Amino acid sequence: MPSKKKTERVPWDFKDGENSYQKEPWILKKGKEYITIETNNNNKGNFYLQKDNEKRLSLSALQARLTYHQLLEFGYKLQKQKRKKTKILDSNDKQN
């Protein structure tokens, strides 16, 4: 039986400036549980995965990609990062 490979992009595939780009860490949440995924700076191409405050696991790029998609199937959702608010001046706020 052929394996089902996920070809959908993961958060770390996006580059700065793309619509779906998010800085790391990437946090997936389901109820009160959360899982954090971040790159392993000591071993390029690998990732760290940590559930709540449990021990951090080191994963290969392929393992991280498959785990990410599996977590989505289990009902986890990627948290949107909060953007900094920028004040928009209207005509009354402008100074002459």
pLDDT recorded at residue 51: 96
Length of the chain: 96
pTM of structure: 0.75
Residue with tokens 């998010």: 22
pLDDT at 64 over 90: yes
pLDDT at 10 over 60: yes
pLDDT recorded at residue 93: 56
How many Cα atoms occupy the beta-carbon half-sphere of 8 within 13 Å? 12
CB 20 within 8 A of CB 11: yes
pLDDT recorded at residue 69: 97
Q: Where are the domains of the chain?
A: 25-78
Residue of higher predicted confidence among 82 and 59: 59
At residue 11's C-alpha, the angle toward residues 86 and 84, to 5°, is 10
Residue of higher predicted confidence among 58 and 1: 58
